[in-house]
Amino acid sequence: MFTTFHTTDHTREYGKPHSNIMKSVYPSFDTHSRRSFLRGALAASLPFAVPSMLRAAAPPPSKRLNLAVIGTGGQGSGHAGVWAGVPESRLVAVCDVNRQHAEQAKAAADAAQGDKACAIYHDFRELLARADIDAVSIAVPDHWHALIALAALRAGKHVYLEKPVAYTVEQGRALVNAVRRYGAVLQNGTQQRSMSYFQRAAWLARTGRLGNVHTAIAISPDGPQGGDPNPATPPPEIDYEFWLGPAQSKPYTPGRCSGHGGVGWYHIRDYSGGWVTAWGSHHVDSAQWALGKDHEAPISVEAKGEFPKEGVFDTCSKWRSEIRYADGKKLIFATPGEAEGKMNILIQGDQGWVCADRGSIDAYPKSLLAEHPGPLADPWPTDHFRDFLHAIREGRDPAAPIEAAHQSTTLCHLTNIALVMQRPLRWDGARERFIDDPVADRMLTSPMRAPWSLNA
């Protein structure tokens, strides 16, 4: 059984049924859109401001950044479309252990750019050896994120990294250290930081317009159950052994290597934290931002949940996590029905509330909806990607910098660990260790299968 969190009376004014939450979590989004977008990626500290990139002209062809995409299925195909389509960059290479995915991405890039210059690679290390590549976009399964990103940083590349930023807390900390060591730009793919409704929600919460903000609620869809557990022969276009990489050697099962549409590896713990880290990387990140906790770790976490009982999927399918901070603020992260959240995030103060998703915003009192920090981004900006390019050119942090990404991803990892432990856990954010809990500490890292390692 789950304990339902009861919100303040203000939230009852909203009255949006839970059945609408699932709809709001899965909006349609054309990642290949060529519309002109405004960007309003808010700075981590107040006051919020629209950066100069809004007024910046596209650079001449000779000044465009050369981009490469590593992982071209699902999300990666969208990355390829953006880098081949925006005026600030050229897509010069793609890499995937699935030959069909790589060939499809190259064909799309060639069509968009009007030439045949985009190269195909099977091994990301060969791609990273190219001196003419300025930055890479990484959209591989989660268990590869930190390993490939670290290799890219060592090779002198800037990195756009899909969420979650890392598979474990240890790997996330290694990325934070490496980004600062090499002076690189790393943009996490938490594009809600470049979406107007989430920007407005964060601004209302952090400028005192809700009074004393005490609670943030982040809602994720339920995770699926099942998955075909029967061993099968890997499709011929996939180098399955390379796909596994640092993960344990396991027999291939149908759909295991698929991530598109939220099936396959997303819900197998060897490769991912399930929806806890996948959607949590978005909504927990937005809630953390609104609470003003990008640079402050919590002190405790407690979670209850349900796990699949059959099939190959083994990540949590339903949960409720309560994360507390030293000042008494708390962040509730739950699936629909386990907390009375509204939309993707709900931020509560003692004088009002605001909730937001990717298509709308609501607030109490309603007068708050007339207030905003200035020119706003379009609800669906490709400019989270373009912000990455401008951050490289301007030598600044991007909209979703590594420290904030690591902090919010850590909250998701702590939730997954608490779901396994099924008891309250105390957290030492300075040491990034649990307090007097060596069993839980062992879950902060994960062994890598030879020859792969974070130090390679």
Is it true that the peptide bond before 47 is cis, omega within 30 degrees of 0?
A: yes
Using DSSP's 3-state secondary structure scheme, residue 352 falls into: strand
Using DSSP's 3-state secondary structure scheme, residue 220 falls into: coil
- Report how far residue 70's alpha carbon sits from residue 72's, in angstroms, rounded to the nearest whole number: 6
CB 157 within 8 A of CB 134: yes
Provide the pLDDT confidence category of residue 100 given band limits of 50, 70 and 90.
Answer: very high
Q: Please give the CATH topology (third level) of the domain spanning 52-192.
A: Rossmann fold (3.40.50)
For residue 32, give the DSSP letter.
Answer: T
Q: Helices (DSSP H) in 129-261: which residue ranges?
A: 145-154, 169-182, 196-206, 240-244
pLDDT tens digits for range 287-345: 999 999 999 999 999 999 999 999 999 999 999 999 999 999 999 999 998 888 889 99
- For the domain spanning 9-27+196-378+403-444, the CATH number is 3.30.360.10
Q: Within a 10 A sphere around the Cβ of 156, how many other Cβ atoms? A: 13
What pLDDT score was predicted for residue 372?
Answer: 81
Query: What pTM was computed for the model?
Result: 0.87
CB 141 within 8 A of CB 70: no
Q: Is the pLDDT of residue 56 over 90?
A: no
Between 81 and 47, the higher pLDDT residue:
81
pLDDT tens digits for range 421-435: 999 999 999 999 999
Q: Is the pLDDT of residue 9 over 50?
A: no
Nearest to 85, CA basis, from 118, 121, 112, 116: 112
- Report how far residue 287's alpha carbon sits from residue 291's, in angstroms, rounded to the nearest whole number: 6
Domain boundaries, the chain: 9-27+196-378+403-444, 52-192
Using DSSP's 3-state secondary structure scheme, residue 50 falls into: coil
What pLDDT score was predicted for residue 54?
Answer: 33
For residue 311, give the DSSP letter.
Answer: S
